[in-house]
Amino acid sequence: MLRYDVPMTSENVPTPTSVKRVWWPAAVRLPGERKPRYNQKVYATDTGLYIYEQAVHPANARLVYFAPIDFDKTPEPPTNYSALRAGIQIHVTSGDVVSLNPQGGCGCQYKRLKRWRPDWAGTETAWKG
């Protein structure tokens, strides 16, 4: 498991070239943590899973977790709302599992994070491939 409290410009975290899924707002249970983190913005990308929370400064978001996704063990997440509410298990290459549940609602109380997106979050591609 790789965890970073560093900005995306850091050399420690790869820059993705495509986004496979975005979940906002989401409740996330990270490996090794007992309690879920609420109102997180989650990007599943070609290079891994990026989880952000709202920050005050400078970019309105702070990366709280990154890990490469094990696409062979992680089935394509559902897209319909009722299946999403049951939760999604994302397997990462360290062997850990990140659990996430889309929260429903608009996340309007976190306006900066709702409007924010990384510079690389423009191109969307299929889950595998």
Any domain includes 79: yes
pLDDT of residue 44: 96
Q: What are phi and psi of 70, to 5 degrees?
A: -90, 90
E strand intervals along the chain: 19-29, 37-45, 49-54, 61-67, 88-91, 97-102
* Whole-number pLDDT of residue 29: 96
Count of domains in the chain? Answer: 1
| 13 occurs within a structural domain | no
Give the pLDDT score at 75. 93
Between residues 5 and 82, the one the model is more confident about: 82
Give the pLDDT score at 11: 61
6 domain-assigned? no
> Stretch 77-88: mean pLDDT, rounded?
84
Share of the chain above pLDDT 90, in %: 48
Residue 124 is assigned to a structural domain of this protein: no
Does residue 56 form part of some domain?
A: yes
Judge whether 26 lies within some domain.
Answer: yes
Sheet holding 49-54, edge to edge: 61-67, 49-54, 37-45, 19-29, 97-102, 88-91
> Averaging pLDDT over each range in 3-12, 59-68, 80-89, 92-101, which range is the top one?
92-101
Q: What is the CATH number of the domain that holds 81?
A: 2.30.29
pTM of the model: 0.86
* Higher pLDDT among residues 12 and 66, named by residue: 66
- Structure tokens belonging to residue 92: 């990462």
Domain membership of residue 52 as a residue range: 19-115
Least confident of 3-7, 8-12, 56-60: 3-7
